[in-house]
Chain A
Amino acid sequence: MEKIPVVELKNLTKRFPGVIANEDVNLTLFEGEVLALLGENGAGKSTLMNMLVGLYRPDEGEIFIKGKKVDISSPQDSMALGVGMIHQEFMLVGNLSVAENIVLGLPDLEIRPPFAKINKKLIELGKQYDLNIDPTSIIDNLTVGEQQRVEILKLLYRGANILILDEPTAVLTPGESKELNKIIKKMLSEGKSAIFISHKMNEVLEFSDRVQILRKGKSVGTRETSTITKLQDIAKLMVGRDVLFSLEKGEYNPGDIKVEIKDVSIEYKKSVRPLLNHINLQVRAGEIVGIAGVAGNGQQALSEAITGLRKITSGSININNKDMSNKTPIQIINMRVSHIPADRNKMGIVGDMSVGENLSMKKYRTEELSHHNIINKALIKIFANKLINTFTIKTPTQYTNAKFLSGGNIQKTILAREIDSCKGILIAVYPSRGLDVGATETVRMSIIKQRDNGTAILLVSEELEELQMVCDKIAVMFEGRIMDIMDTKDATTEKIGLLMAGVERGEM
């Protein structure tokens, strides 16, 4: 079969103030194929795709669709050409219904949209693709997984045959991802073409026919997926250096108990079952205790209880042998407990403040950075530059607002601040969530280094692979309880998987 190109991007360049997001990028998508677009956070994948759908205008270069040169100046132009995109952040209006979201902005929509007819068509489409969505539900009342299905339904309704999927499974639980992947597969089996962006290598290998790799805004090569034998080769192309898929770890020498959680419960009046249900856990110096579990089973409540962000209703939390139950966050910070929060943008940084200010946020009140409550800017400058260099945070200057950094560099900023101020205890919640291979590796190595230096670490993660690679012990949480705690060498994927699903140890 002769391969017909449906999308050709030729020498696309896009500049933002101070940054070249894409430089001379060429890309070809053939009919009926899936092209995986790989690259680190901030490599320019999303920018490139946003030019194809008309959200951004390229500064230079040309776009061809089905052999014809096109000028895409708005999303309506790309829609008319059959290009549809699922964005990394959902493009849904929260207080509108599913149907309203799906027809929003359609150029040939009637002045008074005939919702009865639209709903019927949506239900039919939904049945055809196993997307069980009520078209009259309000988006805000749907789960993340359901919202993602609305995005799919939108593409189907609009008849897109060139699909751009920008990390469609990044925010989904493993179960939801599986469901979604089934649906995507069905869409692809109908001859649609797709460009697929993902950090999850197994998805890339499963779906794609070819991969193209971007690095720092430039294309650095394409490969047939079938010829990929070693993931390391792809990772090396993405990052520009060798990536370790297993990490060097020092000898396991646990010391004193640093954090002791005794019979802790959190009753929550709005839910039927307690957020935490009689939790007992110890973390020793020089040890990493991992918490496995599907998100929402109490992991976050536990980390918030330790860091003083949430009150416990019974039990006690001892830090360095002192009862620190229900103390304020500053009292716990003063015990030199570091915290990498689950939601890095909302709880980890202040987006509108500079990288330097974000880095000094834990220490600004100490004599190290201020004197008699007056902040010493000169000291902060030196301090911030030191951390930026040590943790290789990629930022134009330390005065750049933190929100302009890529996800990986935001996480490095938080990591730098927390590790610098850490004296013995670190609570890390989903530290590598949504990060690319390079940044993930940095995060994991930093955590292991802390452990080798004698820090007691509690690591909450959804990725079993990460837990197995990094931790010394793994505890599994389900519905606010700890199902079991075991040494990592005994923690097989099957065993953890069953415990995560709520199967008791005795029942296995």
Chain B
Amino acid sequence: MSNLDFITKLLAATLAMGTSLTYATLGEVFTEKSGVLNLGVEGTMLMGALSGFAVTYFTSSLILGLLIAILAGALFSLIHAFITITLRANQVVSGLAITMFGTGLANFLGKKIGPELNGYNLVGLNLPVRFHNISIPLLNRLPFLGAFFNVSVLTYALYLILPLSWYYMYKTKYGLALRAVGEAPRTAAAMGINVNKNRYLYTILGGAFSGLGGAALSLFFTPSWNDGMTGGMGWIAIALVIFSTWNPGRVAIGTLIFGGITSLQFAIQAAGIRMIIPAQFLAIAPYFITLVTLVFMTINAQRKEGHFASPSALGVAFAIDEK
């Protein structure tokens, strides 16, 4: 295997792996930018993965599966929105509860709603249809970059969604309102912006993206249903939000790095390259490197700008008549 081949393959694996991570991270960027911290991403992704898989299994429709996964994610984050925005409960507590609830419910349903033949279990089933890579002729022959033109429609969609999200956030009046709501909600309210409406909207949007990210796993990457199949991806997404400095334009950088290291680690093991380092250490490498990068980035941002880019009102409930 030539080096070029290896890198192209690695890139392909990175893109496949990074797709669901990118959806989840982007969603959380929107949610947090509005001032709502949603730690329920992991649970929401699992619900998306499960519902997408189940619906596609029974209806053979990928579109329907995807839609239901988005809907499930939106509904799940609606719970979080209601608890934290309307009832003004602590966002950390509610988010953790959403993750526990989502994880438990998805695992439970995965054993109950499957076909009778499989003992009502969804684990171990194959999908009648799944998302496949679509290659664009000529472009896919480019060295290195060819990998970018041999991906699933879920990844192609991101090529559009990411720049549009950046444009939306920094160039439109809706994005202006969104940034103001997360930074200075009282000011936003005084300027006639409905703070809580905005927060509901972007919390639900974030959940919808998480659900979609989960479905991208079960309908494309794996493609199957397994208990806890996200394997902590929801938590990585939350960390990568910080890495992106809450900027949709930078989301892909973090997800590519994390996806890349994960894929590299798989590739090294698969290639059977004998290493002195045990495989377990390789497996923790992506998490470890993410952690180190985050710490480094935080310190650097603090030193350079004197403050961190996080939305000032992140995690704080809002009511106009309270000091």
Contact = CB atoms under 8 A, between A and B. Distances in A.
Interface in A392-445: 403-404
Nearest to A53: B190
Question: Main SS of the interface on chain B?
Answer: helix
A93 interface: yes
B191 A91 contact: yes
Question: Main SS of the interface on chain A?
Answer: loop
Interface residues of A, number: 33
| Residue among B312, B321, B323 having the largest count of chain A Cβ atoms under 10 Å | B321
B100 interface: no
Nearest to B191: A105
Interface size band for B:
20 to 34
Interface in B298-323: 312, 320-321, 323
7 cross-chain pairs, A with B, having the tightest CB-CB distances, nearest first: A105-B191, A76-B192, A75-B192, A91-B187, A105-B192, A91-B190, A93-B184
A111 B175 CA distance: 9
20 contacts: A16-B321, A55-B189, A55-B320, A74-B192, A76-B192, A90-B187, A91-B187, A91-B190, A94-B183, A94-B184, A95-B183, A95-B312, A104-B188, A104-B191, A104-B193, A105-B188, A105-B191, A112-B173, A113-B172, A403-B323
Contacts of B312: 94-95
A279 interface: no
Interface in A75-95: 75-76, 79, 85, 87, 89-95
B199 interface: no
Contacts of A87: 190
Interface string A147-183: 0000000000000000000000000000000000000
A93 B192 CA distance: 14
Contacts of A103: 173, 176
A100 B176 contact: yes
B192 A79 contact: yes
Contact of A75 (B171, B180, B190): B190
Interface string A121-156: 000000000000000000000000000000000000
A109 interface: yes
A56 interface: yes
A93 B180 contact: yes
B174 interface: yes
Interface in A1-60: 16, 53-56
B179 interface: yes
B186 interface: yes
A404 B322 CA distance: 9
A110 interface: yes
A394 to B, nearest CB: 16
A96 interface: yes
A107 interface: yes
Contacts of B184: 91-94
B24 to A, nearest CB: 25
A91 B185 CA distance: 10
Nearest to B306: A140
Nearest to B189: A55
